[in-house]
Amino acid sequence: MRDRTLWTWHIGAGVVILVLLGLHMAIMHLDATLGIFGTEGAEPVEWESVVTRAQSLFFTVTYVLLLGAALYHGFYGLRNILLELNPGAGLRRTINVGLSLAGLALFAFGTWAALAAPGAATMAGG
């Protein structure tokens, strides 16, 4: 794929991250001042809060979307930094393949966790 296309996706992913990670940061770390999405009753990292989010379709979908956008944005950024150091053709190919595989593996693992979490909550009586 041409670099211009990949770069456009990089910027697009940045916009998605800005919205979704901004929301995630507000929920998880600005809870004392904002208290949004019911976090005013319990700490965002308490199991009850985790269950509430895991069983919400909105949170599951946006989590997977954020996961994909952030992994793409991050690994593409890392690729650019590494390729700027002018590696040889073989090393460049290794970087491209290695980072793509690492990104895909993390995406698969994170998606599994997001999809398995509601079941774990139900089994635990959540």
Which residues of the shown chain bind other proteins in the complex (CB under 8 A)? 3, 7, 11, 14-15, 17-18, 21-22, 25, 29-33, 45, 47, 50, 54, 67, 70-71, 74-75, 77-78, 80-81, 83-86, 92, 106, 109-110, 112-114, 116-117, 120-121, 123-124, 126
- In the complex, least distance from residue 10 CB atom to other proteins, rounded to whole angstroms: 10
State the nearest-atom distance from the C-beta of 9 to other proteins, in Å.
13
Is residue 53 classed exposed, middle or buried when 0-12, 13-18 and 19+ CB atoms within 10 A define those classes?
buried
Cα 96 from chain centre: 20
**What is the CB neighbour count within 10 angstroms for residue 30?**
14
In terms of Cα–Cα distance, which of 76, 55, 69 is closest to 7? 76
CB of 24 to other proteins, least distance (A): 9
Measured CA to CA, the distance from residue 31 to residue 83 in angstroms comes to 40
Question: Shortest Cβ distance from residue 12 to other proteins (Å)?
Answer: 10
The residue (of 58 and 84) whose beta carbon lies closer to other proteins is 84
